[in-house]
Every structure is written in structure tokens, then in C-alpha cells.
Structure 1
Amino acid sequence: MIAQPTWYQASAHSAPAHPALSGERRADVCIVGGGFTGVSAALELAQAGRRVILLEAEQIGWGCSGRNGGQINPGPACDYATLVRQLGAADARKVWALSVEGVELLRRRVAEHAIDCDLKAGILLVANKLRQVDELQQWQASLQALDYQQLEFYDRASLQQLLRADYQAGVMDWGGGDLHPLNYLLGLARAAQACGAELFERSRVLDWQQDALGVTVRSSHGQVRAEQLILAGNAYVGKLLPWTQRRFMPIGSYIGATAPLGDLAGQLIPSRAAVCDMNHLIDYYRLTADNRLLFGGRASARDGHPNRLRAVMRTRMAQVFPALAEQDFEYLWGGQVAMTATKAPQFGRIGSRVLFAQGYSGQGVALAGLAGQLVAQALIGRAQGFDLFARLRHPLVPPGAPLQVAVRALALLWYRLRDMR
């Protein structure tokens, strides 16, 4: 991935630098990956009194957790019907309830650890086309049947109270919201460290081995001997997870940040809610605390330079907000999202000592934090939630980058054609 400077990095609170791993160390649990999943697991385990070492190849929040859209959605990205087909009605409902708890977990942690991350409530799902209005209302009814009462429907006219853009209808989810994801993650990392977790940056893991007595995790300048291992690299886990277990493909996603818009920001989005549309290849956007518009989307089969998509993204932004037709992006960056074929997350085990969680399919701000908690709980004897998610089945993905790029390109072409209907 080509790492461009992000607005999140430019506006992040100061955070301590963590050393690189050197020499040999011991821990109860070693965690690979310094994103939402890994840091959440580190915090949970450290609070439970476990000796935790977390290894991050770059810096805490370097991957998708520190560069995503910052939108908080209850539920996994897959259709609820997918959960019912695979798990049955009763356990599908448990997964939904756990995912709602993931949002509450996020809010509790922000409050408990006094994390300054611009957290606010409200996310709008909007219908681009008339045929999507029925789908939107069906989605609302299905969640209300699960006793989720946070949703309000707005028709085309009343939607203008919340969002001055040309959509057919919208549903406001007051249970969702948005935040500054990097500042949230840095706050979690500070909390984990305060509870005793050891965090190491610039410590890329080369390989790991599991035996009857524990797990050995090796980096270029050191190694960790632990009783258990959590692989939390998500889209960046690479060869640390065998391809037969890696049931996702990384998809490039891109975000631009305008200059501060001043009073215009509130005129465009009076509700200041985060927004996501209903296309397969979505546009998503929100206002920042300093009145920038963060505008994201434009999925890509290849991991390329964001500037190649600048004109396309500016055009998309201007189609949503004609008043921004002359606006460019002060920041433009990309990252990889781990997409599963079903859009459901993937939890699993390798042997008796290694667990992993990944594949949040673009909905990981709350779900990845929940996953970290569930992985940690599984390691200390409360595996019910983890095992429930681990029952979700996922088709194999093709091995090798060239074939995956071809499959991703075909899938994105199919989605574009469906969006044109």
C-alpha cells in the first residue's frame, strides 16, 4: 500500500512512540496487529491481569483502523438473512445483539478512558434511486422486529431537514454515529498500556510457530514466547495466516478531506450526521469538527496511488453537493478493507493456541473492537461470543495476488453494473 499523509494523522493528538521489539520476551498472550482488533484485545486482556505483548509492523493505527471513514454502524455488513441462513433465527439474533453491544462497548470505553475523539451520534442511510426506497423501509422494519428502536424514516422532502442533497429517502440511525478513528485508537492504546500491556511498533512479524507448550513469534530483531497468539492484522495479515484460512480479499478504498468549509458545512448537512448511500459501490461522507467534508468510496481492485482517483472522487463529491464543484481535497489517502464474500466477519482458530478475527467488510469501527473483546474473552475461558461468530462460513478465496486482482476487478464491474440499474 502506498501510504499517503492523512487528515487523521495531521489532526491526531500527541501519542508516545513505542519501541521496536528486540531480544527475547515472554508473555501470556502475543497479539499481532495494532488496529482496533488487536488493541481492543490487548486492553481487555491487560484488564484481566494477563501479560500482553502487542507487535505492530508500522505504527499504532497505520492500517485501516487509523485511516477509515470513522462511521459507526451497529451490526455486521452482511444481510441479516445471511445470519439466519447460517446460524438459525435464535443465534442470528444473538449475533445482532452482540453487534449492538459493540457500539455500546465503544461508547463506554470513550467515557471510561476519557478519549477525546469527536464522538457523536447519528448516521444516515440514504436511497439513491426510487427502487431503493422499498429496500430501505424493509431494512428498517427488519431491525425494528429485532427490537432495535433507533431508526427514523425520512421521505424525500423531510430528508432535506437533515441533508441538502438529492436522495429519494433516508433512515437516520441514532444508535450509530461517527468519530475520529485514529484518536479513538490512540486513546485505547494509552488505556491498554496503562493497564500493563506492552506495545511495540516497527516490529514486523516474520513468522510464528505453535507447539505443545506455546507459540514462538519472530520479528527481524526479536522474538516473543507466549502461551497464546492473536492474529489481528485483518487486511494486512499477509502470509502470517495460511491462505486456506484467509477467507477475504483486500479491497482498496479512498477518502478525501476538503479544506474547512466554514458555515457552508452546516448548510450541506444540517444534522451533521454521517451519511452512507445504498449503492453497492458506496459513497460515504461526514463533517469533521473543523468543518471539513470527508468524502470516501471508490473501491479499487488494485492498491494504487490515491491521486489517480482524485478527479473521479471530486466528480462524485460534486454530484452529491454541486456547491463543492470547485473544491479540491487538501488530503487524499487510501487503505485496504478486508472483504469476505458474504460480508460477514470471519473468526477462527488454528490449533489450540492461535485465534484470529478479520473480514469486517467496511463496518469495522465498532465490530473490530467487539471482535478484540470476544477474542480476549475466548482466551480467558468465556468463548461463547467468539464461538458464535466462528460458526459463520465463508467461501475460499483464490490464492495468489494476480488471480485475486482479476476476481476483484470482475466483482467491482458487476457491482457497478448493478448500481446503474
Structure 2
Amino acid sequence: MTEHDSWYHSSIPPQKTRSTLQGEHRVDVCVVGGGFTGVSAALELAKAGRTVSLIEAEHVGWGCSGRNGGQINPGLAADQAALEKQLGAEQARELWQLSLAGVELLRKRVAEYAIECELKQGILLVANKPRHVPELKAWQASLEELGYDQLAFHDRDSLQGLLNADYQAGVMDMGGGDLHPLKYVLGLALAAEEHGATLFEHSPVLSYQQDSTGVTVHTDQGHVRADHLLLAGNAYIGQLLPWHQRRFMPIGSYVGATAPLGELADQLIPSRAAVCDMNTLIDYYRLSADGRLLFGGRASARDARPEALRQTMRQRMTQVFPALAQADFEYLWGGQVAMTASKAPHFGRLGDRVFFTQGYSGQGVALAGLAGKLMADAVMGQQQGFDLFARLKHRPVPQGTALQTAIRALALLWYGIRDAR
């Protein structure tokens, strides 16, 4: 299962070819990773007049940034109460405000750079079971206490006007929304280049060395000497971060796209809002601009066998929308999402010149772009936002692929049992 199985990839015109990194280069900042985080950082730095080289192992948008469900969520995946326990109420509120700034940053960039990425407003959080309804109301109340006024509660009956599916209740968040993520990240990349950043593709970074005067980054055909290095590979960072600094485990996440549904699309989701449910192993879905249902979910501890995955995903889609019992996916794709134990992102430094961010835990569409901006700000001496995220503590992950897989499998089994209750 590759990116070429993705409807996103098939729905865009052929893209420009970027050079591989060859020879010697000297810049202010080197960025590793061509997803939301890295491209966002490169754009901010180039706008500020810094010289920037971005190095991507595949091509821009190859990883999760170009394959995800496209849902835009204010906030972090971690509960606000958990953030308050770590940081106190005031600084947890600051994190919430930063997350809103991340959503606003996304919208501002779409407008400023005229990025045609099918941006829409509105996301529904829906309660699968009666026990979820009090949790949903408490979640709404907690955000309204923070001054957030974009939420509207819908009971089982009124929800039907927004979503023709069997849920107990829902909250519409007009501060969220959805977009075509690959078109968005490619648009950001063009904007970064317009401001002077240089983007290299098909150039895996093999190693780097940091010393008192800078950082040297090596590929197999060249190297970059920079004052600072930003590591933005997230789930695909490989060996560039020391094991004890990763603080996340990669989890498989998958999306299927039906054929265009015609009039049925608006019958299924009259609001055309993106939707996410409240199970631990969530279903999330939305309509594309051409009326396809993009249905995602089913986290996996290992790469799923395509046919077994197709059957599972179709079953889950049919449970939500019985009218699609005979429908199949024209496209089915997936990739790795970096999940931390706390579901909060992990920001950090290696020495004085290397910054990294990772572990957006499924909410990276807006949050990863914010992370890139905060890394860029930190390089330019404005470190408050980066340092606030860096204060969050994260439990280490077990070393070794086999052990990780076993732990993930047990966790997913437990979550599946819990969701069935």
C-alpha cells in the first residue's frame, strides 16, 4: 500500500521536479522533512530573510501530511485537564490559545497564497453510545470555560439534520473543518520557494554532526552546513533522533475513498461537515469536493494486509452508513501516525542548534504547521511558544520494533474491547 493508492495523489496534476541535494551548501537553517512541519518552518524562515535548505527523503507531502484524513481540529489530542495537571491552568490555557492560532495560521496561509485545497468549515464530534453523551457535554463545557464560542450541541433528533447516521448526540465545531491535505502542503512548498527557500527531494539524510559553530547534515551525494537544524520527520524520522528522544510509537492509520456518490452524498451528510466519533479507535470521515466519502480509521500495530483492511474498513463504513452496503473503495491507502503516550506533541532540543517536534497524535493538520512556525520562531530568538510545548513531559517508549509491536497490539485489543462496551 503506497501513496499511489491514494485518491489525493490521483486528484492532483503532475508536480514540478525538484533537485536532489548534491555538493556543498551553506545556509542559515537546514530543515529535514517535507511535510506540514518542515515546509511551514521553511516558509516562516524564508519570509524573515533567512537562507533555508529543506531536505526531503522522498518528495514533498509523501508522508502523513499528504495522506491524512484532512480534518482540522482546534486543540491538542490530549485532554485539557491533563494539560492543566502538568502545567497549571494558566499555561494550559496558553496551549489552547496557541492551538487556535495554528488553525488561524492555516486559514491565513490558504488565503494569502491562494492555495486551492478545498478548505471547508465545520467538524462534528459525535457520541457513539449513551455513556458518551455526558462526556461530550463536559468536553463542550470545558472549552466554553476557555472562552471558545464555536460549539453547538445537537441531540439525537437535531443531529439528523446534519448527519444521517445513528449517533446519540453531536457537537458541531465551526472553528474546525477539513481540506485536501496534499494540495495544502504542496501549496505551502511553492510559497516557501517563492520566498527563497530551496527544497531538495529524493535526498535521504544519513547523519549530522553538531559543533560549537554549526551543524553539518549529510546525504549520500552532498552536505549542508547550517547554523541550526530543524528535524521535522515525525513518524518517519528514522535514526536521526536518539532512541530516548523519540517519545512516540508509529501507528498505522488508513483512509478509503468511494466513487463519487452523487445526490446520495448530501443525503448522508447534509451539513457536509467532517465527522469524528468518540470511540478510542475512532472512525473519521468527510465528503470530498467531488462527492466521494473519505472514510478513515482503524489504527493498526503493524502494516495491514490490503484485502483484510479493505474488508474491515468497508464493514465499519457500512455500520455508519447502511446505504453504502454495496459500495466499495476506489482508493485505499495509509501511513504512519506518530502517537505519544499523553497524546500531546513532543517538542525538544538536542544541544544548542538542533530543534525537533513530533507526535501530533492524529491532530497534525493545523498543529504540525504551528509546530513548524514555533521552531522557526525559536531559531529567530522568539522561543516562548516552543518552550511552552517543550515543558510537557513524555514517557519514553520501549526500545525495539518487536516489543513496540506487541505493546501496540495489546493496547489496540484493549481499546477495541472498551469501545465495544
Same fold, TM-score > 0.5, yes or no: yes
Residue in structure 2 matched with residue 321 of structure 1 by the alignment: 321
Q: Does 1:267 align with 2:267?
A: yes
Residue in structure 1 matched with residue 291 of structure 2 by the alignment: 291
Separation in 2 of the partners of 1:367 and 1:123? 16
Residue in structure 2 matched with residue 78 of structure 1 by the alignment: 78
Cα deviation for residue 308 of structure 1 reads 2.9
Residue in structure 2 matched with residue 8 of structure 1 by the alignment: 8
Q: Which amino acid aligns with 2:320?
A: V
Residue in structure 2 matched with residue 307 of structure 1 by the alignment: 307
| 8 Å contact from structure 2 (residues 3, 67) kept in 1 | no
Separation in 2 of the partners of 1:354 and 1:13? 36
Separation in 1 of the partners of 2:253 and 2:307? 13
Partner deviation per Cα, 1:190-226 (whole Å, 9 max, x = no partner): 0000000000000000111101111011111111111
Separation in 2 of the partners of 1:12 and 1:122? 24
Cα deviation for residue 353 of structure 1 reads 0.3
Aligned residues: 421
SS in structure 2 of the partner of residue 26 of structure 1: strand
Residue in structure 2 matched with residue 56 of structure 1 by the alignment: 56
Q: Does 1:402 align with 2:402?
A: yes
Partner deviation per Cα, 1:54-78 (whole Å, 9 max, x = no partner): 0000010000000000000000100
Cα deviation for residue 4 of structure 1 reads 4.5
Separation in 2 of the partners of 1:2 and 1:118? 23
Cα deviation for residue 51 of structure 1 reads 0.4
| 8 Å contact from structure 2 (residues 20, 203) kept in 1 | yes
Q: Which amino acid aligns with 2:31?
A: I
Residue in structure 2 matched with residue 225 of structure 1 by the alignment: 225
Taking structure 2 as the reference length, the TM-score comes to: 0.99
Q: Which amino acid aligns with 2:59?
A: Q
SS in structure 1 of the partner of residue 298 of structure 2: strand
Separation in 1 of the partners of 2:306 and 2:203? 26
Partner deviation per Cα, 1:339-364 (whole Å, 9 max, x = no partner): 00000000000000000001000000
Partner deviation per Cα, 1:115-173 (whole Å, 9 max, x = no partner): 00000100000000000000000000000000000000000000000000000000000
Partner deviation per Cα, 1:317-360 (whole Å, 9 max, x = no partner): 00100000010000000100000000000000000000000100
Separation in 2 of the partners of 1:187 and 1:2? 22
Separation in 2 of the partners of 1:4 and 1:308? 19
Separation in 2 of the partners of 1:3 and 1:274? 22
Cα deviation for residue 80 of structure 1 reads 0.3
| 8 Å contact from structure 2 (residues 3, 9) kept in 1 | no
Residue in structure 2 matched with residue 105 of structure 1 by the alignment: 105
Partner deviation per Cα, 1:70-129 (whole Å, 9 max, x = no partner): 000000100001110111110000000000110000000000000000001000000000
1:154-303 equivalences under 5 Å are 154-303=154-303
SS in structure 2 of the partner of residue 228 of structure 1: strand
Cα deviation for residue 14 of structure 1 reads 4.3
* Residue range with higher mean Cα deviation, 329-338 or 407-416: 407-416
Separation in 2 of the partners of 1:152 and 1:71? 18
Going from structure 1 to structure 2, the CA distance change for 1:13 and 1:174 (only over 3 Å counts) comes to: farther
Separation in 1 of the partners of 2:193 and 2:317? 40
Cα deviation for residue 306 of structure 1 reads 3.5
Cα deviation for residue 420 of structure 1 reads 1.4
Residue in structure 2 matched with residue 368 of structure 1 by the alignment: 368
Residue in structure 1 matched with residue 132 of structure 2 by the alignment: 132
Q: Which amino acid aligns with 1:353?
A: R
| 8 Å contact from structure 2 (residues 35, 185) kept in 1 | yes
Separation in 1 of the partners of 2:163 and 2:243? 43
Q: Which amino acid aligns with 2:226?
A: A
Residue in structure 2 matched with residue 24 of structure 1 by the alignment: 24
Residue in structure 1 matched with residue 338 of structure 2 by the alignment: 338
Separation in 1 of the partners of 2:190 and 2:2? 27
Q: Output the aligned Cα RMSD.
A: 0.9
Taking structure 1 as the reference length, the TM-score comes to: 0.99
Separation in 1 of the partners of 2:388 and 2:305? 38
Q: Which amino acid aligns with 1:282?
A: I
Cα deviation for residue 22 of structure 1 reads 0.6
SS in structure 1 of the partner of residue 316 of structure 2: helix
Q: Which amino acid aligns with 2:62?
A: W
| 8 Å contact from structure 1 (residues 306, 334) kept in 2 | no
Residue in structure 1 matched with residue 359 of structure 2 by the alignment: 359
| 8 Å contact from structure 2 (residues 4, 10) kept in 1 | no
Cα deviation for residue 414 of structure 1 reads 1.3
SS in structure 2 of the partner of residue 123 of structure 1: strand
Unaligned ranges ≥5, structure 1: none
Residue in structure 2 matched with residue 391 of structure 1 by the alignment: 391
Cα deviation for residue 245 of structure 1 reads 0.3
Separation in 1 of the partners of 2:8 and 2:330? 12
| 8 Å contact from structure 1 (residues 2, 304) kept in 2 | no
Q: Which amino acid aligns with 2:122?
A: G
Runs of 4 or more, structure 1, over 4 Å off, are 1-4
Separation in 2 of the partners of 1:242 and 1:19? 29
Cα deviation for residue 17 of structure 1 reads 1.5
Separation in 2 of the partners of 1:414 and 1:55? 39
Cα deviation for residue 50 of structure 1 reads 0.4
Separation in 2 of the partners of 1:305 and 1:253? 13
| 8 Å contact from structure 1 (residues 348, 356) kept in 2 | yes
Cα deviation for residue 15 of structure 1 reads 3.0
Q: Which amino acid aligns with 2:243?
A: W
Separation in 2 of the partners of 1:4 and 1:399? 31
Partner deviation per Cα, 1:391-415 (whole Å, 9 max, x = no partner): 0000000011111101111111111
State the percentage of identical aligned residues. 71
Cα deviation for residue 387 of structure 1 reads 0.2
Separation in 2 of the partners of 1:398 and 1:4? 32
Separation in 2 of the partners of 1:353 and 1:48? 18
Q: Which amino acid aligns with 2:87?
A: L
